[in-house]
């Protein structure tokens, strides 16, 4: 029996509706959450990401600003900008779009963001709050992974979960979230021995290492829930045949656009998994949705109002 497809677009739409309702409720009280997105330079992919985030803010009634320092901006200039945004009362969330140009010390910049406005959930204070099970702002993609599980009625408590990847952005925080939800969690990385067997223990398997099709069907426990965080571009015929042999829809997409997308999980894993997130249309749509949740949450926490949207 093929795996149940966990529809991230559907879940994202439901979360956005909830956020819009909360924003409307705050507006009735004379409050409007505000997000500042800082985009340094002209990276095409980053421009698309920021444009989508700003557009989503507009759709949900959240105030937004896109701030675009030149690609030649220095660390000091960016630190001054962040300090100014920290002091602006109408800005509840500050988003620093990564990657930053090489001449900028990204860690210094991120550390300067007020933790109460850190809607990316990357500040050490917010990471510490997550680790000690205290209220705070949680990284958007990991929070989205948990929403997929929760809204798909997939039990986490007592389950054995395996996370492949230990990045600060996804692997570590999703492992903490799973632990906080009472799963038994194993975090795998490049030096993990017997990776295939460790992965096969997972009743929940989260793939977040950034390697196209790395998790094969042999690594998936039959009936497991697979959360595929990866987004990788397939741009050669050889890769297309390796990941999507005989898939007419993907072949047509490749012929039209010159590429298609694959996650960190080989599509054949769907033949043994019990449930799986697709790529695209799985975890991806949740990232922006949870950014909106975090912006409203930050507004509520900063202003002392009652949060109606739960991350």
Placement of tokens 């409203």 in the chain:
296
Domains within the chain, CATH numbers bracketed? 30-114 (3.40.50.10860), 140-285 (3.40.50.720)
Q: Is 102 a catalytic residue?
A: no
At residue 225, the 3 state secondary structure works out as strand
> How many whole angstroms separate alpha carbon 76 and alpha carbon 81?
9
Please pick, among 92, 97, 228, 297, the residue that the annotation labels catalytic: 97
309 pLDDT band, cuts 50/70/90, is low
> How many whole angstroms separate alpha carbon 77 and alpha carbon 82?
9
Rounded mean pLDDT of 167-181? 97
Q: What integer pLDDT is reported at residue 43 of this predicted model? A: 87
Q: What integer pLDDT is reported at residue 305 of this predicted model? A: 74
Please pick, among 92, 114, 118, 120, the residue that the annotation labels catalytic: 120
Extract the tokens encoding 105. Answer: 């010390």
Is the separation of the CB atoms in 203 and 160 below 8 Å? Answer: yes
> How many whole angstroms separate alpha carbon 252 and alpha carbon 84?
49
310 pLDDT band, cuts 50/70/90, is low
Residues 6+ apart with CB under 8 A from 241: none
Q: What integer pLDDT is reported at residue 304 of this predicted model? A: 83
Q: Is 105 a catalytic residue?
A: no
2 pLDDT band, cuts 50/70/90, is confident
* 85 pLDDT more than 70: yes
14-61 confidence digits (pLDDT tens): 999 999 999 999 999 999 999 999 999 988 889 999 999 999 999 999
Among 46-50, 92-96, 174-178, 212-216, whose mean pLDDT is lowest? 46-50
* 307 pLDDT more than 70: no
Q: Is 53 a catalytic residue?
A: yes
């Amino acid at each position: 029996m093929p795996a149940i497809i966990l529809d991230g677009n559907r879940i994202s739409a439901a979360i956005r509706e909830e956020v819009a309702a909360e924003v409307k409720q705050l507006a009735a009280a004379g409050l409007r959450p505000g997000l500042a997105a800082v985009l340094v330079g002209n990276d095409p992919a980053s421009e698309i990401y920021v444009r989508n985030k700003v557009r989503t803010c507009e759709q949900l009634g959240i105030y937004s600003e896109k701030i675009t320092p030149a690609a030649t901006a220095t660390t000091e200039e960016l630190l001054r900008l962040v300090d100014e945004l920290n002091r602006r009362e109408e800005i509840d969330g500050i988003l620093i779009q990564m990657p930053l140009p090489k001449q900028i010390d990204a860690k210094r910049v991120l550390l300067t963001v007020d933790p109460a406005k850190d809607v990316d959930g990357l500040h050490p204070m917010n990471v510490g709050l997550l680790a000690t099970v205290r209220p705070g702002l949680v990284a958007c993609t990991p929070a989205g992974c948990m929403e997929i599980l929760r809204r798909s009625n997939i039990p986490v408590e007592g389950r054995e979960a395996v996370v492949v990847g230990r990045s600060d952005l996804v692997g570590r925080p999703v492992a903490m979230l799973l632990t906080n939800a009472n799963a038994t969690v194993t975090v795998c990385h490049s030096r993990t021995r017997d990776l295939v067997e460790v992965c096969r223990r997972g009743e929940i398997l989260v793939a977040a290492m950034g390697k196209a099709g790395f998790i094969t069907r042999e690594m998936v426990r039959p009936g497991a829930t697979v959360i595929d965080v990866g987004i990788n571009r397939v741009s050669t015929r050889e890769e297309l045949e390796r990941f999507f042999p005989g898939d007419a829809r993907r072949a047509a997409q490749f012929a039209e656009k010159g590429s298609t997308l694959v996650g960190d999980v080989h599509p054949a894993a769907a033949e043994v998994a019990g449930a799986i997130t697709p790529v695209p249309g799985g975890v991806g749509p949740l990232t922006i949705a949870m950014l909106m949740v975090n912006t409203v949450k930050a507004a509520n926490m900063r202003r002392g109002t009652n949060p109606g949207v739960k991350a």
